[in-house]
Amino acid sequence: MISENNKVPLLDFLSISQPTVISSSMSPNTADISVITVVLNDKSGLERAVSSVQRQRSLVIEHLIVDGGSIDGSAELAREFSSVLIDSKPDGGIYPAMQRGAMRATGEFLIFCNSGDMLFGDDFLAKAIRQLRIDKSLWGFGPIIELTERDTFAWVSVPSYADSKSIIARKVFVPFPSFIIERNLFLRLGGLTDQFKIAGDFELICKAASSSKPSIFRDPIALFAAGGISYVSADVAWKEEIAIRVKLFDLSFFDRCKQWLKFSIRLARWKTGKLLDFIQARSPFKESSWREYRTNPVPSEYANFLTN
C-alpha cells in the first residue's frame, strides 16, 4: 500500500517480459506507433523502458532503441530488443539521438520513452491512440506520473483544454513523456533540432501547438524519472525556452522584457527551493521533504498500478 508520504517501493516487478513489439522482419508501416528510446550507459533504465513497452496491448508497436556508444551492456540490450538495428555511436546530445531514431520510424505516431522512463499501464497508450484517431488530432498529451528524486511518486496533471498561446507561454505544461505526434507532422515540422541542448523538446511542442489543436488524454501514459539535466540546470532550460519563443515568434521588445522578468522571478523561486533542500538535507530531523507538501498524490485508480 502507498504510505502517507506517498513513498512506495521502486518498480521491482518491471523485469523483461513477453515480447509484444514488432520485429524487423515484419513489413513496414504496420505499427500504430513508434516508441523511440535513447540510452547511454544506463542498462537497468533501458531494461525498465523495454519491459514497459512490451507490456502494452491492443496496438502494434515499433520500438526503436538508439544507443549513444554505451560500454555497460546497454548497446547489446538495444541490439536485442530494437525493432530496427540502429548503430551504437555517439550522437552529440539527446536530441540528435532522438532525431536519429525518429528518422528510422515507420509508425503512424511517435512517442519518446528514454531509458529510465516507462510507459504506464498496459492499455493507456492504446486508448490515447484511439482518442487521437477519433478526434482526428495530429498530436496530443496527457498527465504523467513522476518518480521523484526522493523515490516517491507525484501526479503531474494537465487541464482539459489548452490553446496554442497558453502552451507556448507555459501557462499549460505539456509533459514531453506523454507527447504523441503523428510521424508525418513531426517530419513537416522539422523534427528535433540540435540548436538547444535542454529545451529542444519545448521547441517541437511550440511548433506542434502552432500547427493544430491537440487531444488531451485523461489517463497517464508515462512514468517519468526525475533528476535529468532539465532539473539540474533548470535555469539554462528556461533561458533556452525564451530563445525558442524569440526564434519562432515575432516578439516585441516589450514582450521580451516580460519574458526576462518572469525568468527572474522563476529563478529566484528555484534558488530558494535549492536552499531549502540544502538546509533540510543537513537537518537532524528526518521528516518528509518540504517538496512532498507541494506535490499532488497519484489518484487511487492509478496508484494500484504502482504496487504489487
Answer yes or no: is pLDDT of 124 > 60. Answer: yes
> In the chain, what is the straight-line distance between the N-terminal and C-terminal CA atoms, in Å?
8
Residue range 231-277, pLDDT digits in tens: 778 899 999 999 999 999 988 999 999 999 999 999 999 999 989 88
Q: How far apart are CA 274 and CA 233, in angstroms?
A: 12
In Å, the largest CA–CA distance within the chain is 61
Angstrom distances, CA of residue 15 to CA of 18, 46, 69, 77: 10, 11, 24, 13
Handedness of CA 34, 44, 124, 97 (dihedral sign): negative
- Beta carbons of 222 and 144 less than 8 angstroms apart: yes
Number of residues written out for the chain: 308
How confident is residue 292, by pLDDT bands cut at 50, 70 and 90?
confident
Q: What is the mean pLDDT of residues 164-178?
A: 95
pLDDT band at 1 (very low <50, low <70, confident <90, very high): very low
10 exposure class (CB count in 10 Å sphere: 0-12, 13-18, 19+): exposed
pLDDT in tens, 10-37: 444 343 444 455 554 444 558 999 999 9
Residue 295: per-residue pLDDT:
87
* pLDDT value, residue 149: 84
Angle at alpha carbon of residue 204, lines to 201 and 208, rounded to 5°: 140
pLDDT in tens, 205-216: 999 999 999 999
**Stated pTM of the model:** 0.89
For residue 52, the model assigns a pLDDT of: 96
Question: Quick one: which of 39, 186, 51, 52 has its CA closest to 124?
Answer: 52
Assign domain 33-306 one CATH number from 3.90.1150.10, 3.20.20.70, 3.30.1330.20, 3.90.550.10: 3.90.550.10
Q: What share of the chain is helix, strand, coil (3-state, %, to 5)?
A: 40, 15, 45
Higher pLDDT, 27 or 81: 81
Binning pLDDT at 50, 70 and 90, where does residue 9 land?
A: very low
